[in-house]
Every structure is written in C-alpha cells, then in structure tokens.
C-alpha cells in the first residue's frame, strides 16, 4: 500500500466507530452497550474520544436522550452503509448467501404473500426465506433486515425498490348480501374510515354517511366480516383476488379506485447482489403482475 493511500486510510479506532454507529441507531448509549456487550461508561468514553479526535460534536445531549447533530447524521449514514456491506460480504463468505429476511405488513402476508409462497419454495428450494410480520417495515436499514414490503404513497428515499401494485379500493360483500349503499352496514378496515372516504369522494358518493357501521383495526378482519354477511367492506382488490375468484365476495360497485398508496418491495443496497434477493425479486415481480391482472378483471362478480 502506498504512503498516500495509507494516509487516506487513517481512520478512527474501529471500536469507537462501532460504539458510535450503535448509539446513533438506537439514540441510546445504554442500548448500544447492551448490543455490544460492554458497559455504558465504555460507550460514553468511546464517543467522547471520537468527538475529540474529529473535533466535532456528534450528538446533542438532551434531557430525555440523544439527538444526532448534522455531522453525526452524516457519519451515521456512512457507517451504516459500510457495516451493512461488510456484514453482507461476511455472510456470503460464510456460506449464507441463500438466506433472506423479509418484513411485511401482517394483512399483506396473510392474504397475499403466504398463499403464494409454496410456489416460491418449490421454484427455489435452496433459499432460506424468513418472513417477519410488522406494521411499519420502512426502516429496514435501522432494523438490519434484508428487505421489506411497505405500504406507502412512495418508497422511502435512499433505498432501491420495486413497485408491486397500487392499492385499488372497491366495496365488496358476500353473494346475495348487497343492499343499497345508503342502507348497508359499512365495514371500515381502519379506525379513521379513510378508505371509505377516499372511495366515496372519488366516485361521487360524498353524501354517504360514513359514520355508520363497524370499525375494525385490520383489513383482514373487515373482509372476514363481509364474507360472513355482516355488511359491505372497502377492500383492496389485489388482496382479495382469491375471494373474488372463488365467489366468497362480489363487487358492490365498480370500477375500483386508486387510493394513492401502493405496496413496494425495498431492500438494503448491501444485499442488492445477493442471489437470494435477486431470485425473490424476480419471483415477486411476476406474482404481483399476475395479481394485478386478476384484480383488474374482478372474477366472481
């Protein structure tokens, strides 16, 4: 290594950088100490030495915890990316390139992903796919997860992504249980009633009384109530393709209305070249394209 290169590589001690990265991720020296199996005083000492070495303040010490300064945010982003890349390389060298951890919203997993996973497992038996359900899957870098499926108007900045499908809202009910909308029991898949409101505003049903009916805390619960004949649910047609195809549900009014939100597959840049991620991404792209065609056709009407 040349002397110029050695000078450019003059880095702070790795133990101090690890202490800083963990503290920045948790915004807690105590949590960082637990993660690194050292004492809190050791973490504080390393942070102090790093700030002294750089001549910069990396954290603002607040009454209730820590906050990153602009310099701290910049260093934290760089270290997170570097450590991610190191971890991915080590995992590959250790013979674990086929493992993929995915976080996704519970309803999407239950109603869309799990019914399809047997096909993926049959096509790619060598991939160890581990699915974890979580409501908020956007910060996969902080959580050190390989990939996530998020429900959002747009993918989070700084992450590679694949659009799976836009949410398409349509009222549905059990066959033979389709009263007029102004007399029906409305089944709301969320406490804010936003799905019904978006659909009503987009279809000229703004006068519909949305305060009526039952409120559920999950999409799945509202759809199951509709299948049981308890009213009309507002549903994303992409997630009920099987129910429509098998005649468990029928559309009450068409066409479906885009809500402005979509489902996105996102992944950490450090795992972008991992074979397991590439194979899963190709598979789920094909599955989501097929699901979109089914949803737009509304079988079972």
Query: What domains can be seen in the chain, in order of their start residue?
Result: 3-93 (1.10.10.10), 98-301 (3.40.190.290)
pLDDT of residue 292: 60
Strand 186-188 relative to strand 161-173, pairing: unpaired
Mean pLDDT by 10 residues, the chain (301 residues): 55 93 94 94 95 94 89 94 78 64 91 93 92 79 82 89 95 87 89 91 89 90 93 93 91 91 92 90 92 51 30
Instruction: Give residue 95's pLDDT.
Output: 46
Query: Which residues have CB under 8 Å from 259's CB, separation 6+?
Result: 166, 167, 168, 169, 195, 198, 199, 236
pLDDT score at 270:
81
Question: How high is the pLDDT of residue 299?
Answer: 39
SS3 assignment, position 75: helix
Task: Identify the bridge partners of residue 234 per DSSP, sorted by sequence position.
Answer: 171
CA–CA separation, 9 and 227 (whole Å)? 63
Q: Compute how many other C-beta atoms are within 10 angstroms of the C-beta atom of residue 158.
A: 11
Residue matched to tokens 């603002």 = 60
Contact 50, 20 (CB under 8 A): yes
**Spatial contact of 262 and 152, defined as CB atoms under 8 Å apart:** yes
Amino acid 93: pLDDT: 53
Cα-to-chain-centroid distance, residue 283: 18
Q: How far is CA 110 from CA 177, 278, 300, in A?
A: 25, 23, 21
5's tokens: 């290169």
Nearest to 115 by CA among 294, 296, 259: 294
CB 128 within 8 A of CB 280: no
The whole-angstrom separation of Cα 101 and Cα 277 is 9
> The tokens of 284 are what?
């789920």
pLDDT on residue 112 = 93
Backbone angles phi, psi at 26, to 5 degrees: -90, -20
Separation CA 40–CA 72 (nearest Å): 19
- Look at residue 64 in the predicted model and tell me its pLDDT: 80
């Amino acid at each position: 290594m040349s002397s110029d290169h050695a000078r450019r590589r003059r880095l702070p001690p790795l133990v101090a950088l690890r202490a800083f990265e963990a503290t920045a991720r948790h915004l807690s020296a105590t949590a960082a100490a637990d993660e690194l199996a050292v004492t809190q005083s050791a973490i504080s000492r390393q942070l102090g030495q790093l700030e002294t070495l750089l001549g910069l303040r990396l954290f603002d010490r607040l009454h209730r915890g820590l906050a990153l300064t602009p310099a701290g945010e910049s260093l934290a982003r760089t270290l997170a990316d570097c450590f991610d890349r190191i971890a991915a390389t080590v995992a590959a060298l250790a013979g674990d390139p086929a493992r993929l951890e995915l976080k996704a919203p519970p309803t999407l997993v239950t109603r869309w992903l799990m019914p399809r996973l047997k096909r993926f497992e049959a096509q790619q038996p060598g991939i160890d796919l581990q699915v974890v359900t979580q409501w908020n899957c956007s910060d996969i870098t902080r959580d050190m997860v390989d990939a996530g499926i998020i429900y959002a108007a747009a993918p989070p900045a700084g992450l590679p992504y694949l659009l799976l499908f836009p949410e398409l809202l349509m009222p549905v009910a059990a066959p033979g249980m389709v009263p007029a909308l102004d007399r029906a029991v409305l089944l709301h898949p969320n406490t804010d009633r936003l799905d019904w409101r978006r659909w009503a505003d987009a279809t000229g049903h703004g006068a519909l009384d949305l305060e009526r009916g039952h409120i559920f805390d999950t999409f799945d619960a509202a759809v199951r109530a509709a299948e049981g004949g308890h009213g009309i649910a507002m549903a994303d047609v992409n997630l009920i393709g099987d129910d429509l195809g098998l005649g468990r549900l029928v559309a009450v009014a068409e066409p479906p209305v885009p809500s402005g939100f979509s489902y996105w597959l996102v992944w950490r840049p450090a795992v972008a070249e991992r074979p397991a991620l590439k194979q899963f991404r190709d598979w789920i792209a094909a599955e989501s394209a097929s699901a979109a065609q089914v949803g737009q056709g509304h079988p079972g009407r």
